[in-house]
Structure 1
Amino acid sequence: MMSRLLLGRCLSALATALIPTTLTLAVLRAGGDGGALGIVLASELVPLLVLLPVGGVVADRVRPERLALAADLTRCLSQAAIAAELLLGADRLLDLALLSAVAGAAIAFGSPAVPRLVIAVVPAPDRLRMNARIGVATSLSTVAAPALAGTVTVAAGPGWAAGLTAVLFACSAVTLGGVRTSGDGAGARRAFLADLAGGWREVRTRPWFLAAVLGHGVWHFVAGLFLTLGPVMVVRHLGGGEAGWTLIVQGGTVGMVLGVFVAPRLPIGRPLGAFAVPRLPIRRPLGAAPPLPIRRQLAVVRAGAAAYLLPMVALAVGAPVPVLAGAYFVAMFGLGLLSPLWETVVAEQVPEGALGRVRSFDQLISFASRPFGLAVAAPLALTGAVLVAAANLVAIAWQPAAPGQGPEPVRPARPRVRRRR
């Protein structure tokens, strides 16, 4: 079952990573501009953000493999419809936007079910290692998918790239749908709003979780700023060109994969030789501080997120491209450590009956913060440019007149010295 779970998550991650490049090339081939592309990409994000809390409630009520099956099948059908649209030459942007919205709604319901699926299938001692393997697969998919989608689009067209995505989602649905767990939702059935409020209460009564989630939101916001302003600075001002930015991105990818590989090998959860977080036999009261091993893992999680300070500082001071690449490598290494440790700690500390709702709030903040950082990067840069221009124009207006163009400044009279005769 564990190998089936890992294979299904790998297929789903690769299919998910293919979508942005495929949609971008499809919209550009259809004659759309940047505004049209933004509408199509936002059409997936908006229903995702709106429906994530709803998906968290559903994830705690339905068996996770069924929800993962339904979500991947829905995304398979939406990608198949996009492929048919593109292959038939319709290329209607409204259709692409609506189908992207359907895919976003499916993500909102399928994503909160994944942590419960991992808990149901993977024994506690192996969860950190499984989360690390899923993280490696996701990281590699993020790197390989744009090249794969671009190659298929150039060779055969974006319709075939969308068709490949649909096939991968179908395989993922069959694989994850074959995972067997026991029972239905882990929590008692109540009214929808009561369940939603109960999920938020689980978040609010755990200050360590809420603080970490807010920190993750800031991380995603700053990452959006860096990924928007970084290429402009490197290509136009630091002299690195496109090759320099490619070097920085590749260094970050290597760092993230290395961090995910190292995370389950850190001796911070249990004595040396055992790296999983122990499940406590006695339930602690809500809001109680986590035990010492968990606090150590949370310290690594927060340090990993704080490492993003390095590339932002390097970018701010105009550091050379090699220094910026090294800073981004360290930052993404921190992200690689963060991801599997965070998934494991949350699964151990949050009751299974509320895990879907709790994780949906976590994902909601993360998903919303990244595009917000992307959106405000250009206005921040424009604001900075306006401030620079205004300050210098004011300085010109206040500049004193040049000699010969205005009244000479009054000079104090020199005292007369009487000479002795």
Structure 2
Amino acid sequence: MTRLLIGRSVSALATALIPTMLTLAVLRVTGDAAALGTVLAGEMVPMLLLLPVGGVLADRIRPGRVLLIADLTRCLSQAAIAAELLLGVHRLLDLTLLAALAGAAVAFGSPAVPRLVAAVVPGPERLRMNARIGVATSLSSVVAPSIAGGITLAAGPGWAAALTAVLFAGSALTLGGVRGGSPSVAERRSFRDDLVAGWREVKGRPWFLACVLGHGVWHFMAGLFLTLGPVAAVRDLGGEASWMVIVQSGTVGLVLGVFAVPRLPVRRPLVAIQAGAACYLLPLVALALPVPVAVVAAAYFVAMFGLGLLSPLWETVVAEEIPAAALGRVRAFDQLISFASRPFGLAVAAPLAGVTGVTALLLSGAVLVAAANLVALLPRFATTGPSKEAAITPASPPPLPRRP
């Protein structure tokens, strides 16, 4: 299990380095925002298109092997980007194609992660492991932009890409050696049959579908908040420093939530999950109203604390409720909704605000977030959901050095 945690932590750091590295590399080479959009879209589009394929393969092939291939592919793509930048070859098409290769690798690797965790980690320890991975992922998202930016300013984006490649090589070799998660018998069926069977697993669990759609709504509204928030902070809340206070408050809340969840006696996991998602209404309302920056920061802290609770609980509940042989396909659907919703929110935030006004958009979004997530707790879903008896109680205190 230690090897799994190390591998996922290294992979999370490498993944978090890529957006800042690519952004600075493209802007340094072209200075063109449209070119940056092309490269980032080059990574996102194949990832979304190939996620269902990745889900099927995650259920057919040993997950450690899938992650080995996926992270080695990302290692090679980042090494190629590093070589081009260090050699002074600045072709936008090359960067776009290499970003697309990395996005395809994410599509194949992401659905394999839940299968590997479920196969390697015993049920009573699963929540704690998901929380430790969540802490590593959250901290990576905080420190990675500074690391990538610092290396780029000191030595150039090529060296930041080189570091990313080295980290992916390390995670590939670490996770590739983790044993567990035998291929399912579904591998004897056609790809189409496997895909249809995975969708049946989703459709046969109304609680799961309701939760996933609710999570897609908060991801979409997070895209709106992260687009409109900086503008509102600069214009109405005292400038760029105000936005940094808000963002850092959310980061602290997220890390504390992930850290706290294995230590809490959660009697109704699904209630905690959906209530955590519904908390995202708070920063939307705060940003829409004329309140001080401290109130917005506090609201964002609470919202991100709720999402910190949500992530490891959701990973744990889904792994317990979904058959292991279908877990990759089911989680691929879940990830598809999440990966697509936030970029869509980022893209349409400004046009929507221009039509409805910022205040009306944020307040209606807050109502939508609460309604879409709390509807999963209605009796029609609760009676088909995880057992009310399946409480998650704190495990014995972990050793101090160790820790979604």
Shorter-chain TM-score: which interval?
0.7 to 0.9
Question: Which of residues 251, 256, 260 is equivalent to 1:253?
Answer: 251
Displacement of 1:182 in angstroms is: 5.9
Deviation at 1:236, TM superposition (A): 1.3
**1:317-358 alpha-carbon deviations (Å, 9 max, x no partner):** 132100000000000000000000000000000000000000
Give 2:3's aligned amino acid: R
Task: Give the match for residue 230 of structure 1.
Answer: 229
Cα displacement string for residues 198-230 of structure 1 (whole angstroms, at most 9, x for unaligned residues): 000000010100000000100100000000000
Residues 167-206 of structure 1: pairs in structure 2 closer than 5 A? 167-181=166-180, 183-185=182-184, 187=186, 189-206=188-205
SS in 2 for 1:60: helix
Residue 380 in structure 1 maps to residue 352 in structure 2: yes
**Superposed displacement of residue 188, structure 1:** 5.0
CA positional deviation for 1:268: 2.1
Provide the secondary structure at the position in 1 that maps to 2:188.
Answer: coil
Aligned to 1:33: 32
TM-score, normalization by structure 1: 0.84
Letter in 2 for 1:373: G
Tell me which residue corresponds to 2:281.
309
Write out per-residue CA displacement over residues 43-101 of structure 1, whole angstroms, 9 at most, x where no aligned residue: 11000000000100000000000000000000000000000010011111111000000
Measured against aligned partners, the alpha-carbon deviations of 1:110-155 in whole angstroms (never above 9, x if no partner) come to: 0000011001111111000000000000000000000000000000
Per the alignment, residue 112 of structure 1 pairs with: 111
Q: Is 1:268 aligned to 2:266, yes or no?
A: yes
Cα 1:324–1:16 shift into 2, 3 Å: same
The change in CA–CA distance for 1:165 and 1:387 in structure 2 (over 3 A counts) is closer
Q: Secondary structure, in 3 states, of the residue corresponding to 2:266?
A: coil
Amino acid at match of 2:216: G
Matched, 1:357 2:329: yes
| Residue in structure 1 matched with residue 299 of structure 2 by the alignment | 327
Q: In 2, Cα distance between the equivalents of 1:316 and 1:131?
A: 34
- Letter aligned with residue 39 of structure 2: V
1:158 maps to which residue?
157
TM-score by length of 2: 0.87
Q: How big is each residue's C-alpha offset from its partner over 1:138-175, in whole Å with a ceiling of 9 and x where there is no partner?
A: 00000000000000000000000000000000000000
Aligned residues: 360
**What is the match of residue 208 of structure 1?**
207
Change in CA separation of 1:210 and 1:81 when aligned onto 2, cut-off 3 Å: same
Aligned-pair distance for 1:254?
Answer: 0.4
For residues 292-315 of structure 1, the C-alpha deviation after alignment (integer angstroms, 9 at most, x for no partner) is xxxx10000000000000000001
Give the Å deviation of 1:383.
2.1
Aligned to 1:242: 240
Q: Does the CA-based 8 Å contact 1:59-1:185 persist in structure 2? A: no
**Preserved CA contact (<8 Å) 1:19 1:162:** yes
- Displacement, 1:107? 0.4
Task: Kindly name which structure, 1 or 2, has the bigger radius of gyration based on alpha carbons.
Answer: 1
Once the two structures are superposed, the pairs formed by residues 49-198 of structure 1 within 5 Å of their partners are: 49-181=48-180, 183-185=182-184, 187=186, 189-198=188-197
1:120 partner amino acid = A
Q: CA deviation at 1:264?
A: 1.0
Provide the aligned C-alpha RMSD in A: 1.5
1:46 partnered with 2:45: yes
* DSSP-derived class of the 2:152 partner: helix
Q: Which has the higher helix share?
A: 2
SS of residue matched to 1:318:
coil
* Residue 348 (1) aligns with residue 320 (2): yes
Question: Partners in 2 of 1:300 and 1:17 — Cα distance?
Answer: 27
Amino acid in structure 2 at the alignment position of 1:94: L
Q: Distance in 1 between matches of 2:30 and 2:162?
A: 21
- Aligned sequence identity (%): 74
Question: Aligned equivalents of 1:212 and 1:387: distance in 2?
Answer: 27
CA pair 262-91 structure 1, distance change in 2 beyond 3 A: same
The question of whether the paired residues in 1 share the 8 Å contact of 2:138 and 2:255 is answered with yes
In 2, Cα distance between equivalents of 1:174 and 1:256: 29
Shift of 1:360: 0.1
The answer as to whether partners of 1:135 and 1:339 remain within 8 angstroms in 2 is: yes
Contact 1:238 1:318 in 2 (8 A): no
Q: In the alignment, is the contact (CA less than 8 A) between 1:8 and 1:175 conserved in 2? A: yes
User: Contact 2:183–2:325 at 8 Å: present in 1 too?
Assistant: no
